[in-house]
Amino acid sequence: MTGDAAQRSGAAGTDEPDPEGAPTKEVQGKQGRLEGKVAIVTGAGSTPGPGVGTGKATAIVMAREGAKVVCVDLYPERAEETKAVIEGEGGTALVVAADCTSSSDCEAMVASAVDTFGTVDVLVNNIGLAALGTVVDTTEEAWDRALSINLRTAFLASKHAVPVMAAQGSGSIVMISSISALRGDGTVAYSAAKGALLAMTVDMAYSHGRDGIRVNAIAPGHITTPMVHSVSQPGPAAAFMDQMRSEAGLLGTPGTGWDVGWAAAFLASDEARWITGATLPVESGVLSVTPLLMAGHLRAVPAP
């Protein structure tokens, strides 16, 4: 299971940004790459636990880069934690409570952004949930839930954001997919939904490119987030798996939600103005190597 997968609220932690976080705008001493833009980040709330996940990190990084950020979450009290960090650093944020499986909630989400900040320039579809299961033992209910949360949410949020972007002739949409869309990991419904996100990315890039809208995807790898820890019991086995997530990549270093946030900020910015229909892996090179070649760095998981 990859780091963006596990719970409905997206990927995030309740801790304050760690030292790996991007510097604030004041520290940067220059105009941010998203200065003047309005960004919606779905699943921007916080799963309790240490560290930071993709939704919270993305919202914070985009605010640090100058964007006004609409923090959307099913649990608004969690999004308030993200907003507090942003405003504590001098940024601007708005919390919107929304069930993004609902078309009316997504319509209201976009309307709130337009009413408060005037437009929508960036949409990050970050909501994700995964569960173990093969095509045989996954229930129909689990299948439908995975597609609803991982895919329907992106469809509906995009459905209502695209017309606003098209009317102004510009916009950027970033889908948070997963390497599970490209490599098997025993989460058939989640993998199918994340794979569909990649297909949706390409089709939307084709359909709306002449509207000035770029659509790209990020495929996070074995990052460590609060959601990963939320589905495992603390102890030696969990600590060992944290180490294995690092060792499985070519760099041998841990990945976090910040890595996804930085990538999303780049794809949303004008620096990526000629990039669309692409998938950017953020995975320490695991897609570039066979498991056998990494065997020397990996060991069996110890008994609990």
Domains located in the chain, CATH noted: 31-283 (3.40.50.720)
Is 75 one of the annotated active-site residues of the chain? no
Judged against a pLDDT cut of 70, whether residue 188 lies above it is answered with: yes
Tokens representing 42 are 């779905």
- Give the pLDDT of residue 287: 96
- Give the pLDDT of residue 9: 39
- Give the pLDDT of residue 303: 60
Say which residues have a Cβ less than 8 Å from residue 235's Cβ, sequence separation at least 6.
Answer: 304
Give the residue with greater pLDDT, 300 vs 125: 125
Tens-digit pLDDT profile for residues 59-112: 999 999 999 999 999 999 999 999 999 999 999 999 999 999 999 999 999 999
Of the listed 68, 83, 181, 190, which one is catalytic? 190
Tens-digit pLDDT profile for residues 5-57: 333 334 333 344 444 565 554 444 468 999 999 999 999 997 777 788 899 99
Q: Are the C-beta atoms of 229 and 263 separated by less than 8 Å?
A: no
* DSSP one-letter string for 134-184: -TTTS-HHHHHHHHIIIIIHHHHHHHHHHHHHHHHT-EEEEEE--GGGTS-
H or E segment and range at residue 194: helix 188-208
Judged against a pLDDT cut of 70, whether residue 124 lies above it is answered with: yes
Q: What's the chain's average pLDDT?
A: 89
- Give the pLDDT of residue 296: 86
- Give the pLDDT of residue 304: 59
In this prediction, residue 301 has a pLDDT band, given cuts at 50, 70 and 90, of low
Tokens representing 203 are 């089709």
* DSSP one-letter string for 99-146: -TTSHHHHHHHHHHHHHHHS---EEEE-------B-TTTS-HHHHHHH
d(CA 215, CA 174): 6
Give the mean model confidence (pLDDT) for residues 224-230: 76
Percent helix, strand and coil across the chain, each rounded to 5?
Answer: 45, 15, 40
- Give the pLDDT of residue 23: 52
Q: Are the C-beta atoms of 301 and 240 separated by less than 8 Å?
A: yes
Tens-digit pLDDT profile for residues 130-185: 889 999 999 999 999 999 999 999 999 999 999 999 999 999 999 999 999 999 99
Judged against a pLDDT cut of 90, whether residue 238 lies above it is answered with: no
